[in-house]
Amino acid sequence: MTHGQPILRLERVTKRFGGMTAIDDLSFDVKRGSRTALIGPNGAGKTTVFNIVTGAVPIDAGRVFVDGVDISRVASRRRIAHGVARSFQNVRLMPHLTTLENVMVGQHCRNAGLFGVLQPVNLWPRNRWRDTAHAALTEAGLDQYAGATVKNLPYGVQKRVEVVRAMMAKPRLLLLDEPAAGLNSAETEALKSLLERICANDSVTLLVVEHDMHFVGALCDEVIVLDFGRKIAEGTPAEIRTNARVQEIYLGTPVIDATERRHAARSA
């Protein structure tokens, strides 16, 4: 894998749900080692992009490349082994597992197979997989919650646990779906420092769907803007902030109505 290659490439991807086209001939690259934000109004197709990359939904046209490998037809179960892990908009931790065990679910793809499945991770006090998971929680400042039942934890903590779980898979591309949603400022700060720690080396690329522009501005170095399933603009946060078309989409000048916006998107 050459270093100049994008970690993620969407090539003319189209996805239709019934009569509705969610993603329309979309192409974009995510630079390796970057922290890229994927923004756009509601319904722009951002979560659909995530679902496509993780394989949760099949695509109707186009191709998806992760680190140069065409994964368009790879089963969703195998994509985590290709280096793609994600977190979810509404936190989706397993309610019947402890925090530590939830994090260990993330290790599964590296510990699969009969031998891996029969690893006595909960039998002895020390086990290297458990220790690794515990260390990850400690590094994230969350080790006090290790034995806790996840549904009783504060929302901000749960969101960070999800990120740690995703990181256990040692992904090269980490997809975060609205990680800051529903967090207060203290929790958002904690999340941001966790993510910055994760990206400290260049081995992990972040692709973040977010509405919180403050968060995006503080964390990300690249922004891709979608509307109606098409790419409208891309660039640094500063460039995007001053992009006229993006401003139209978000600030919504009364003159421009939905059909005109769609028309503008089509000619992007």
- Binding stretches for other proteins (CB under 8 A): 54-56, 76-81, 86, 88, 92, 94-98, 101, 104-106, 108-109, 111-112, 116-123, 129, 141, 145, 147-149, 152-154, 156-157, 165, 169, 186-187, 189-190, 193
For residue 149, the minimal CB distance to other proteins (Å) is: 5
For residue 180, the minimal CB distance to other proteins (Å) is: 14
- The smaller minimum CB distance to other proteins, of residues 25 and 187, is found at 187
- The smaller minimum CB distance to other proteins, of residues 16 and 92, is found at 92
| Bridge pairing between strands 205-209 and 173-177 | parallel
For residue 267, the minimal CB distance to other proteins (Å) is: 35
For residues 15 and 79, give the distance between their C-alpha atoms in angstroms, rounded to a whole number.
Answer: 19
Q: Cβ–Cβ contacts within 10 Å for residue 74, how many?
A: 16
For residue 7, the minimal CB distance to other proteins (Å) is: 18
- The smaller minimum CB distance to other proteins, of residues 10 and 80, is found at 80
Who contacts 3 (Cβ-Cβ below 8 Å, separation ≥6)?
Answer: 32
For residues 18 and 109, give the distance between their C-alpha atoms in angstroms, rounded to a whole number.
Answer: 33
For residue 193, the minimal CB distance to other proteins (Å) is: 6
User: What letters, b where the CB count within 10 A reaches 16 and e where it falls short, cover 124-153?
Assistant: eeebebbeebbebbeebebeebbeeebeeb
- The smaller minimum CB distance to other proteins, of residues 145 and 228, is found at 145
What letter does residue 98 receive in the DSSP assignment?
A: B
Contact indicator for 210, 33 with CB cutoff of 8 Å: no
For residue 95, the minimal CB distance to other proteins (Å) is: 6
- The smaller minimum CB distance to other proteins, of residues 174 and 240, is found at 174
E strand spans, 73-196:
84-86, 173-177
- The smaller minimum CB distance to other proteins, of residues 33 and 116, is found at 116
- Where do the H-state alpha helices sit in 5-98? 46-54, 76-79
Burial class (CB in 10 A: 0-12, 13-18, 19+), 254: exposed
For residue 122, the minimal CB distance to other proteins (Å) is: 4
- The smaller minimum CB distance to other proteins, of residues 140 and 240, is found at 140
